[in-house]
Amino acid sequence: MGLKVVITILYLGIVGILGYLGFKHTKSSEDYLIGGRKIHPMVMALSYGATFISTSAIIGFGGTAALFGMSLLWLTFMNIFFGIIIAFILFGKRTRKMGHNLGAHTFPELIGKRYQSKLMQKFAGLVIFLLMPVYTAAVMIGAAKFIEWSLEINYNVALFFFSIIVAIYVFFGGIKGVMYSDAFQGSVMFIGMAILLVSVYSGLGGISAAHQKLTDLMNNPAVIEQLKVPSGFNGWTAMPTFLSTSWWVVVSSIVMGVGIGVLAQPQLIVRFMTVKSNREINRAIPAGGIFIFMMTGVAFIVGPLSNVYFFEKFGQIAVVAAQGTDNVIPVFLQTFMPEWFMAIFFVVIVAAGMSTISSQFHAIGTAVGRDLYSNKDCDDKKLMFITRGGVLVAILITVFLAYVLPSVWDGAIAISTGLFFGVCASAFLPLYVGALYFKKLSKTAAISGMSAGFITSVLWMMFIHTKESAVLKVCSLLFGKETLSPPGSQLAVIDPIIISLTVSTVVTIVVAMITKSKFDDKHIDACFDGIR
């Protein structure tokens, strides 16, 4: 315990210094919102990665991987392919330049100015303000649970102090404080995950032996008796049966939902606007890719392998021994790893949570100050005051959700993350692509696609997809059952993003074909100036 305290104090001291540096160098609203567009590419890459990968990936999805196996490694591939390569090369450069051309400081402001639509900007800001706290709560739950297990304190106490620490440096430091801290926290996370991977394989007899033990578990009758995963599960080292319930959960809800959803994440998109040229974005790609590989790849390997350890030691698979997916990684590390490593990894998890939550709080605050309020006559001081007020409101909502969700959702971390990623992709991805690549896409088409995607996503969650409908209970109240999916149908396990993103894309294309763009040439030229 003493070592944990010393390392934690040292870590918090460094974060405090970085937060102060962010505060000291924040002189205007542009500094607070996008770092004055002068952030170093390595800082941007680590901040992007640390914001992207959080306790929801390490704790939540690591625990989900303990349930569904290494098939989740496809999400690592999707995260690198879509979240880094596609996002940086095809989206990042155009976003940075168009944001600069239009003087945009947030994602809602970017699309609002591109389509000359205050409605679009305010709607996007409202989605961020209302729904991002659900995702933020997922990250906060993961961090608070790990602090609870590590320090042996009450969950609510851990939640309270963790939220206070994050709130302080986001409130004062703005995006600079957030990104400086993110870069440091990302470095800590990378080192910690590398040590974890080596330690787990070494403790289980090496790579080949560990994987063979995991495969052989499926031949043990005691394991089969404990398994309660959906039909189609073929073991922790194999993909589920094609189109089975397990396959739909893994592929649609986890791999596709989060893998594609990352392209339309407001808190990540704004990172592209913080650097001064496309050269900086190019330089950030290798660091971002390696970072994502280590963070998600290790979590999705360690999660399944924890089953070997738990069964050999306790005669139970991971989810049973830990009493829930969100508890698997904390319990595994607490019982498997030496005390000195737990002191280090404690900081890794805190860093993972703080880096993501700080960016989310900042995004919610800017949605309030820049997008929902958006008064042209507002001076810098008043804008920053309103933005910081939005941060405080976001913190209160998030802490409330982090207190409530664990009691109503097993696997709340992974579910909440997928929910927000899916809604953002469905509402924003088609119009975001259109904004960057299709000069003649009409405002009507963009708004129609956004509305259709958002409405379809919400309706599917309330009435079809049982993971959400069972908790929201709207379907139960109106129709007396958890889902309207026909008996024996797979619709209840098909993630909303599969349906809603398809609807959003089709509606955008169809409306674009029957409507004409009314943007004048001067506006379009201004948007695409310097973009090839």
- Residue-by-residue DSSP string for 448-473: HHHHHHHHHHHHHHHHT-HHHHHHH-
Closest by CA position to 214, among listed 70, 323, 62: 70
Picking from 149-158, 175-184, 192-201, 353-362, which range would have the lowest pLDDT averaged per residue? Answer: 175-184
How many other C-beta atoms lie within 10 A of the C-beta of residue 312?
Answer: 11
Q: What confidence tier does 162 reach under pLDDT thresholds 50, 70, 90? A: confident
Contact 246, 337 (CB under 8 A): no
CA dist list (Å): 454 to 19, 116, 127, 183, 458: 36, 20, 9, 33, 6
DSSP code, position 252: I
Q: The tokens of 435 are what? A: 């904004």
Contact 327, 102 (CB under 8 A): no
Dihedral through CA 379, CA 385, CA 390, CA 392, nearest 10?
170
Domains of the chain: 2-422 (1.20.1730.10)
- The whole-angstrom separation of Cα 481 and Cα 502 is 26
Residue 188's pLDDT is 76
- The whole-angstrom separation of Cα 394 and Cα 479 is 33
Write the DSSP string, 86-105.
Answer: IIIIIIIHHHHHHHHHHT--
- The whole-angstrom separation of Cα 485 and Cα 492 is 6
pLDDT tens-digit series, residues 244-274: 888 888 888 778 877 787 788 887 787 776 6
DSSP code, position 220: -
Q: What confidence tier does 36 reach under pLDDT thresholds 50, 70, 90? A: very low
Q: Spell out the residues 6+ positions from residue 320 whose beta carbon is closer than 8 angstroms to its own.
A: 226, 310
Mean pLDDT of the chain: 79
Q: What's the average model confidence in pLDDT over 65-71?
A: 88
Query: Is the per-residue pLDDT at 365 higher than 90?
Result: no
- The whole-angstrom separation of Cα 442 and Cα 108 is 17
Query: Is the per-residue pLDDT at 24 higher than 70?
Result: no
With a pLDDT cut of 70, the percent of the chain lying above it is 80
Q: The tokens of 213 are what? A: 């033990």
Q: What's the average model confidence in pLDDT over 147-163?
A: 78
- The whole-angstrom separation of Cα 453 and Cα 456 is 5
Picking from 184-193, 231-240, 306-315, which range would have the lowest pLDDT averaged per residue? Answer: 184-193
Q: The tokens of 224 are what? A: 């089969």
Interhelix angle 278-314/328-336, nearest 10 degrees: 70
- The whole-angstrom separation of Cα 399 and Cα 162 is 10
- The whole-angstrom separation of Cα 326 and Cα 275 is 36
With a pLDDT cut of 90, the percent of the chain lying above it is 11
Q: What confidence tier does 500 reach under pLDDT thresholds 50, 70, 90? A: very high
Closest by CA position to 405, among listed 139, 55, 53, 64: 139
DSSP code, position 229: P
Q: How far, rounded to the nearest angstrom, does the alpha carbon of residue 288 sit from its chain's CA centroid? A: 15
11-46 CB burial, b ≥16 within 10 A, e <16:
bbeebbebbeebbebbeebbbbbbbbbebbbbbbbb
Q: Spell out the residues 6+ positions from residue 521 whose beta carbon is closer than 8 angstroms to its own.
A: none
Picking from 42-46, 261-265, 403-407, which range would have the lowest pLDDT averaged per residue? Answer: 42-46
First to last CA, the chain: 56
3-state secondary structure of 13: helix
